[in-house]
Amino acid sequence: MKKTVSMLLVILLFVSLCGCGSEETNAPAAGTPLHTFYEAILDAQPADAEALILFEEFNPDLIENFYPGLRDVELSQQAYYMPPIATHPCEIVLVEVKNAADVQTVADIFQARIDMGADNVSYPESAAGWQLYAQVQTSGNFVCMIVLPESYVIPENVFEMN
């Protein structure tokens, strides 16, 4: 009898722990300014790293060219930071979607951008940067794509840094 009760308690404990593992980490509050995450990414870089030179992009045609389909997603806010030379693998893009169902759509659009950069046969060194140093992160209604040069750090969870 004691073995049966003990076994049931072990199973119950195991099931409850499995349920906890699937929960999402603390998502940032809706409306958290995107520049907060951008600044946190810059602050996370090694002290001896050269300063990243990125410009905020506002041109909707250029944005649509790099991220096809993104203009069809309803966004609460968006920020695009691009390098002065487009062939360099260095971009930081942060968005907040209005509808949680669109998070995966935006993540797929950002992953397509990474894949496009990684498949660039005209600039093999640039392609290697996209293959090795690019990722998409999500948390709640927030999505980001980060591509940084080799010696820089992509934080494990950008959205927990604010």
- Give the global pTM: 0.82
DSSP character for 32? -
Tens of pLDDT, residue by residue over 97-154, are 999 999 999 999 999 999 999 999 898 999 999 999 999 999 999 999 999 999 999 9
pLDDT the model gives residue 85: 87
| C-alpha span between 95 and 29 (Å, rounded) | 13
pLDDT the model gives residue 15: 40
| C-alpha span between 86 and 107 (Å, rounded) | 21
> Which regions of the chain does DSSP assign to beta strands (E)?
55-56, 75-82, 91-97, 134-139, 142-147
Residue 82: other Cβ atoms inside 10 A = 19
pLDDT the model gives residue 161: 78
pLDDT the model gives residue 80: 98
> Which regions of 13-110 does DSSP assign to beta strands (E)?
55-56, 75-82, 91-97
Nearest to 38 by CA among 102, 81, 71, 75: 81
Q: Considering the chain, what is the average pLDDT of its residues?
A: 87
pLDDT the model gives residue 25: 55
Residue 46 main-chain phi, psi, to 5 deg: -60, 145
Residue 117 has which token pair? 């950069």
CB 144 within 8 A of CB 92: yes
Confidence of residue 81 (pLDDT cuts 50, 70, 90): very high
| C-alpha span between 74 and 102 (Å, rounded) | 8
CB 148 within 8 A of CB 154: yes
C-alpha 140, offset from chain centre: 12
CB 10 within 8 A of CB 2: no
Tens of pLDDT, residue by residue over 44-68, are 999 999 989 999 999 999 999 999 9
